[in-house]
């Protein structure tokens, strides 16, 4: 993990935002953004990794994060990573591809979310979701 004043702020916001949430196996959800942040190589992508699901999955908005002092680069990437459900999934992925920082975080996110070792058992729904994620990875890498 990269520790700077802004990554520490993001770490605290991430924890507070996700502390009551659980993943599909009942583990604390916050482990997921922490895992992604550990893979990042600079301050910007570390912050984005920590906050990538905050606006989509909690009551915290992008404006709230902007008001916390996060850079325009971070807010732009977070905006791209916040999936508007009215936008088809692969169109959403194509938009992410336009931003190097968002793309870096999304690739780590997709790889972590499609890791079968995270699941206690694998359902048909899990297989379909993983196929979608693998297509998204190909699109982002292509």
Q: How do the pLDDT tens digits run along the chain, 142 residues long?
A: 999 999 999 999 999 999 999 998 889 999 999 999 999 999 999 999 999 999 999 999 999 999 999 999 999 999 999 999 999 999 999 999 999 999 999 999 999 999 989 888 899 999 999 999 999 999 999 9
According to the model, what pLDDT value does residue 120 have?
87
Identify the residue whose tokens are 């931003």. Answer: 99
Q: How many Å from the N-terminal Cα to the C-terminal Cα in the chain?
A: 28
5-141 CATH fold: Hypothetical protein af1432 (1.10.3210)
According to the model, what pLDDT value does residue 76 have?
98
According to the model, what pLDDT value does residue 44 have?
98
Report domain extents, the chain: 5-141
Cα separation, 54 vs 90, in Å, equals: 21
Predicted TM-score of the model (pTM): 0.96
According to the model, what pLDDT value does residue 24 have?
82
CA angle 49, 37, 120 (to 5 degrees): 95
| 142 CA to centre of own chain | 20
């Amino acid at each position: 993990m990269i520790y700077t004043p802004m990554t520490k702020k993001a770490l605290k916001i991430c924890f507070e935002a996700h502390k009551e949430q659980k993943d599909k196996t009942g583990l604390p959800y916050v482990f997921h953004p922490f895992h992604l942040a550990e893979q990042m190589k600079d301050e910007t992508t570390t912050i984005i990794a920590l906050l990538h699901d905050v606006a989509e999955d909690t009551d915290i908005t992008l404006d709230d994060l902007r008001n916390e002092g996060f850079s325009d680069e971070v807010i732009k990437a977070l905006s791209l990573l916040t999936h508007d459900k009215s936008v088809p999934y692969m169109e959403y992925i194509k938009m992410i591809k336009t931003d190097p920082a968002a793309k870096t975080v999304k690739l780590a996110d997709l790889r972590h979310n499609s890791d079968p070792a995270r699941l206690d058992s694998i359902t048909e729904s899990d297989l379909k979701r993983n196929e979608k994620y693998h297509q998204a990875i190909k699109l982002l890498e292509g």
